[in-house]
Amino acid sequence: MAVQTGGSRGLQLCGCIVTDELEAVGAGKTRWLDNPVILVAMTQEHLAIATDQVIIMQLTWKQQAEKDTKPFVRKVGSCLEPEEKMTAMEWVVFDGASLLAVGTSFGALLLFSQKGTLLIKQYFHSDPVLKLRVRSEPLGSLGNDSSEDLCLIYPKAIARIDAIDLKILGHKKLREREGMEGEGLLGWKVGGDTQDGEAPINRLPFLMWNINRTAGALACSDGALAGIMPPPLLELQGKRHYCALTVGPDCTLAAFRVSGEKQGSLVSAIIDKVMPASVTKISNLAKRFWQKDESSESNRPLEVSPQTFSRASVITSLKDNMRKGERLAVAPGGSLAAIADSLGRVLLVDVNAVVVVRLWKGYRDAHCLFLEAPVDGSADYADPQKKHLSLRRQQYRLCLAIHAPRRGVIEIWQMRHGGRVAVIRDGESCRLLQPACQLRSVALELDTKDDEDETFEPARVYFLHGDSGSLSLINPFMPIKKRMS
């Protein structure tokens, strides 16, 4: 079903999320979705909306009568420490099941099942989690240098959890706490808790990089791993390195080459071991000497300890005293990134060359997301169940959706140097949402056939209107006669 909403162009109405459970997060009030405390995460089938300590799960916008699940309220106060709050949320979608990842103000990661069962809680850093990002490698990279992960963005660090480790521990916890047997989360038949005499893991292995120490920045406001990049010329070419991007108040953009290895050179190992511990010791001594009221630290979990950081080196940085980086969006495949700054500008960055290739002005408090839209505006684009076999990947166009809340508009621009293809003028009290990408690296066989069009899943962007509860798909190339049908 495709309609035109509020005189806007390029929208396909998918349904509504009106339900009584939404009152737990403040729905019903005018412009309730503008509250920055409210977190929204989406898959191709359902939504999750949360506040500080309440999550509404299994929200669906589909209007079919045969709904298998109903939305429910999950109160997470018992899962958190006193004064701990949820600060970030994202779905982690596997082949067969989905987990809801939640970051907290004390630096913890919580993983919930679709039934609301707490599976994993682990602390990685003492700072609050700013953002959770799930990264999936583009088609064609499987079996080569495929790398998929969940990243936790902190003000001074980035932590990476490999998708395989996440799946293994998630599968184990699902079997323990929800009694899942047979083929479970991974699609693997697991006969026991140990294999080859090895004890099962109970904690998530991870890598962490200290980004403020290497860039000379005090803190970042957003960040991401853009993908795999080649190592330096004087290092072993077999080692894996990632490109990390950060934006912040004192560094508009910083690009890093971060090592995927836990061990580096001797000097780096000494620095990584000694520096975090030394800083922690000095900080603790200073707090004991100067701090008058230690009650504020009494609730800090004891599990947080000095971290061992992997190597991170700055590739380039853009510092401007007048410009502050606020938000970051990364295109599918990691070739482009969009940065919204405090001057109302949106910068388009070529990640491989780390240069700004385009700039827009007049978008204060902007939020950006990349999408891949069919050039023929097919209405089937709104149905994720259809694999789009009639369209090849070359028939999709990469676009950037820019939401300017102060102007009340959402503009869609074709990449890299194309024009504006659609304008949505009902942009108040709304959110741009993108379904979490499915992690495929261990769900597919490494010797899959070369025809990647059959499994190509374009990146979609949805438009959630808070006051009406309507959820629409942004389809910028849809012909007018289809929009009005």
Residues pairing with 160 in the sheet? 151, 207
Cα–Cα distances in Å, from 446 out to 141, 166, 171, 183, 450?
Answer: 10, 19, 21, 20, 11
pLDDT bracket for residue 236 (50, 70, 90): low
Amino acid sitting at position 237: Q
Least confident of 280-284, 362-366, 368-372: 280-284
Q: Is the pLDDT of residue 199 over 80?
A: no
Segment 101-155, tens digit of pLDDT: 999 999 999 999 999 999 999 999 999 999 999 998 765 554 444 589 999 999 9
Q: What is the DSSP secondary-structure string of 398-467? A: EEEEEEETTTTEEEEEETTT--EEEEE---SSEEEE-PPPBP-TTTS-TT--S-GGGG------EEEETT
Residue 24 lies in a domain: yes
End-to-end alpha-carbon separation of the chain, Å?
A: 7
Across the range 3-15, mean pLDDT stands at 64
Q: Judge contact between 421 and 2, C-beta under 8 A.
A: no
- Stated as kind and residue range, the H or E segment containing 55 is strand 54-59
Question: Is the C-alpha dihedral spanning 356, 357, 360, 366 positive or negative?
Answer: negative
Question: pTM for the full model?
Answer: 0.83
Residue 297 lies in a domain: no
Residue 69 lies in a domain: yes
By CB atoms closer than 10 A (0-12, 13-18, 19+), residue 238 is exposed
Residue 5 lies in a domain: no
pLDDT of residue 140: 52
Token reading at 142 = 């499987």
Share of the chain above pLDDT 70, in %: 72
Least confident of 246-250, 379-383, 421-425: 379-383
Does residue 42 sit in helix, strand or coil?
A: strand
By CB atoms closer than 10 A (0-12, 13-18, 19+), residue 267 is exposed
Residue 118 lies in a domain: yes
Residue 131 lies in a domain: yes
Q: Is the pLDDT of residue 344 over 80?
A: yes
CATH of the domain at 19: 2.130.10.10
Based on the structure, what is the number of domains in the chain? Answer: 1
Q: Is the pLDDT of residue 462 over 90?
A: yes
Closest CA to 156 of 227, 68, 43, 244: 244
Residue 296 lies in a domain: no
Q: Is the pLDDT of residue 314 over 80?
A: yes
Domain that holds residue 61: 11-189+204-289+307-483
pLDDT of residue 262: 61
Residues pairing with 312 in the sheet? 258
Give the list of residues 6+ apart from residue 71 with CB closer than 8 angstroms, or none: 19, 21, 56, 57, 58, 59, 60
Share of the chain above pLDDT 90, in %: 42
pLDDT of residue 68: 59
The rounded mean pLDDT for the chain is 79
Q: Is the pLDDT of residue 421 over 60?
A: yes
Residue 300 lies in a domain: no
